[in-house]
Structure 1
């Protein structure tokens, strides 16, 4: 059985839970609390020298890191990863967008607000994070507002899973989604998918 090393309140780890539930794949979960330094232990660093979760360990001992790379690997051969070359490229486009233009702002703002003390100096980063996060949300809103239910094609893909993970809890980072009706409709569509599971509470 494959093993996932992750932290359940992490959106990047939640992506894997969403996908594996949808695929109805069995796996073993090992909780790793990065806030307590568990990703810096010698044992963990032997699996991922970058010291981050999630980590996927296959039955044969091979290890894969980086959440979106893991999504691509696990979704191969399913409807969540299109066979068409162009459609696959569009999925990858949104996966890169999520990691470069979305997660660094929306996820980081959530981390600062939820996990750091009120007087922590990193709270000074929040205005810029909110500005850049809203820019990402505006790009998503524009795309979805063009009569799209999902980000690529007419059915959900791992692009939706990747973007859902931190968008659905963006309010925890201080983002008001009420001004993004297309995003709200899309979030409801993702939640309505078979085998959907909720994220653990932070």
Structure 2
């Protein structure tokens, strides 16, 4: 298999984590979005949406969208519950990640960490703060009840949310107000075969 992505992208990092946890062999193909490499004709033939990550299977089939790839790679493992309702809870958190978390925390991180908050994007950056904190509050509430987001066992929901949450400070979000999230981050980092974003 081949994974096309950026190792500093949370969405790509999800796949690095799951392949490490499950010891899935793959070939990495680095993509530099700042150089427009997702907008080339060759890349757009693989993903017309022009976004990373994408997975190319051994048989040539192509899959895009990070959580779809993540769940595909984890299929049949303990990271995805067998019970239909418990599995739906995992998907619930992944939809939350894409619609209520990533658009705020990941975008704020990009504007602050990579762009240095240019004046023309300051208002956008500031507008992301309330939504990001709301997402963190939802996670904190759940983690007061369970060790992991979908229950007391780690699932792909945790991988999805961990990717951008653990670097939320790079987007201006102070996690010291969320002690349960900090405990959860430590639990993820203590898992066997965990790899950090900065080491990959």
Fold in common (TM above 0.5): yes
Q: 1:120 to 1:39 in 2, by over 3 A?
A: farther
Three-state SS of the structure 1 residue aligned to 2:49 is coil
Structure-1 residue corresponding to 2:195:
197
CA contact (8 A) 2:117 2:125 kept: no
Structure-2 residue corresponding to 1:131:
130
CA contact (8 A) 1:113 1:123 kept: no
Matched, 1:108 2:107: yes
Structure-1 residue corresponding to 2:177:
179
CA distance in 2, matches of 1:118, 1:61: 40
CA distance in 1, matches of 2:96, 2:34: 26
Three-state SS of the structure 1 residue aligned to 2:3 is strand
- Which ranges in structure 2 are unaligned for 5 or more consecutive residues? none
Matched, 1:62 2:61: yes
Structure-2 residue corresponding to 1:26:
25
Counterparts in 2 of 1:1-202, with a 5 A limit?
2-146=1-145, 148-200=146-198
Three-state SS of the structure 1 residue aligned to 2:198 is coil
- Which ranges in structure 1 are unaligned for 5 or more consecutive residues? none
CA distance in 2, matches of 1:120, 1:30: 34
Three-state SS of the structure 2 residue aligned to 1:40 is coil
CA contact (8 A) 1:106 1:167 kept: yes
Count of residue pairs the alignment pairs up = 199
Q: CA deviation at 1:117?
A: 4.6
Q: CA deviation at 1:120?
A: 4.2
CA distance in 1, matches of 2:119, 2:59: 43
1:111-153, Cα deviation, whole Å (9 max, x unpaired): 001222543412221221011100000000011012x111122
Extract structure 1 runs of 4+ deviating beyond 2 A: 117-120
CA contact (8 A) 1:95 1:159 kept: yes
Q: CA deviation at 1:155?
A: 1.3
